[in-house]
């Protein structure tokens, strides 16, 4: 079993992982290299579906607008779906059981058919879900700003878990990966960003804390 672990999330987001680390005597450091702030935005006159790709997108959208009652809600899955349901919303499309993010995108495109979808996103969104849609079917509204904040870490870890491409950028702005350490990518987009730094990671098929713990238990 590994002895130390870093994950690019705020400690408040990984309480379940902290319990796992404590139970297995693993030193855990959780730190994000990102800062978020709201962006002024306006909604288009009409759309049929609204797709939320993260809890943060939902929270920033909800800070300015409510979800129209005549619009169906789609979610990437995981905590985004959990948050939507806790707010009392019905999730018409849930990407949770559709595999990798590219497979979720394909399933969503089939489900959407010829309807028009709104995507509340970050200023640094890669548009992974919407990029395969015709131009007139996908409406993007930037509802929050993502800023990268590089930070020097004083400790080296056995395993590094990166949860987004932007966090990879933030980490490598001030740090390097020790040769003896393993790296885990939180999905395909993060894997591609790590590849650009010549890092070959283990990529989670399903990015969640539960699946991460399953991988860590085997290391």
Q: Which two tokens stand for residue 216?
A: 């860590």
Q: What percent of the chain has pLDDT over 90?
A: 87
Same fold, 4-33+149-217 and 36-146: yes
What's the CA gap between 144 and 41, in Å, rounded?
9
What's the CA gap between 89 and 154, in Å, rounded?
43
Rg (CA), the chain: 18
Which residues, 6 or more positions from 48, have their beta carbon under 8 angstroms from its beta carbon?
71, 72, 115, 116, 117
Indicate the domain borders of the chain. Answer: 4-33+149-217, 36-146
Cβ atoms within 10 A of the Cβ of 24, count? 15
Cβ atoms within 10 A of the Cβ of 92, count? 13
Do 128 and 101 contact (CB within 8 A), yes or no? yes
Nearest CA-CA partner of 126 in 193, 37, 189, 51: 189
Question: Under DSSP, is residue 74 helix (H, G, I), strand (E, B) or coil?
Answer: strand
83: pLDDT strictly greater than 90: yes
Do 143 and 77 contact (CB within 8 A), yes or no? no
List pLDDT tens digits, range 142-160. 999 999 999 999 999 999 9
Do 45 and 141 contact (CB within 8 A), yes or no? no
Q: What percent of the chain has pLDDT over 70?
A: 99
Mean pLDDT of 118-142: 94
Mean per-residue pLDDT of the chain:
95
98: pLDDT strictly greater than 70: no
**Fold category of 36-146 in CATH:** Rossmann fold (3.40.50)
pLDDT for res 101: 84
Tell me which CATH code domain 4-33+149-217 carries: 3.40.50.10090
pTM value? 0.88
């Amino acid at each position: 079993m590994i002895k130390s672990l870093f994950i690019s999330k705020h400690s408040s987001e990984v309480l379940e992982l902290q319990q796992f680390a404590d139970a297995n005597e693993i030193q855990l450091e959780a730190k994000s290299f990102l800062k978020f702030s709201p962006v002024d935005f306006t909604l288009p006159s009409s759309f049929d579906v609204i797709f939320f790709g993260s809890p943060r997108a939902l929270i920033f959208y909800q800070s300015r607008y409510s979800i129209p009652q005549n619009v169906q809600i789609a979610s990437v899955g995981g905590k985004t779906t959990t948050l939507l349901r806790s707010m009392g919303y019905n999730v018409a499309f849930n990407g949770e059981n559709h595999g990798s993010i590219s497979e979720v995108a394909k399933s969503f495109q089939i489900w959407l058919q010829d309807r028009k979808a709104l995507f509340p996103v970050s200023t640094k969104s890669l548009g992974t879900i919407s990029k395969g849609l015709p131009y007139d079917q996908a409406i993007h509204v930037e509802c929050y700003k993502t800023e990268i904040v590089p930070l020097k870490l004083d400790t080296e870890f056995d395993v590094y878990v990166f949860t987004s491409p932007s966090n990879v950028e933030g980490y490598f702005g001030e740090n390097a990966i020790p040769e003896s350490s393993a790296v885990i990518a939180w999905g395909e987009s993060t894997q591609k960003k790590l590849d650009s730094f010549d890092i070959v990671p283990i990529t989670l098929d399903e990015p969640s804390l539960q699946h991460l713990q399953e991988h860590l238990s085997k290391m």
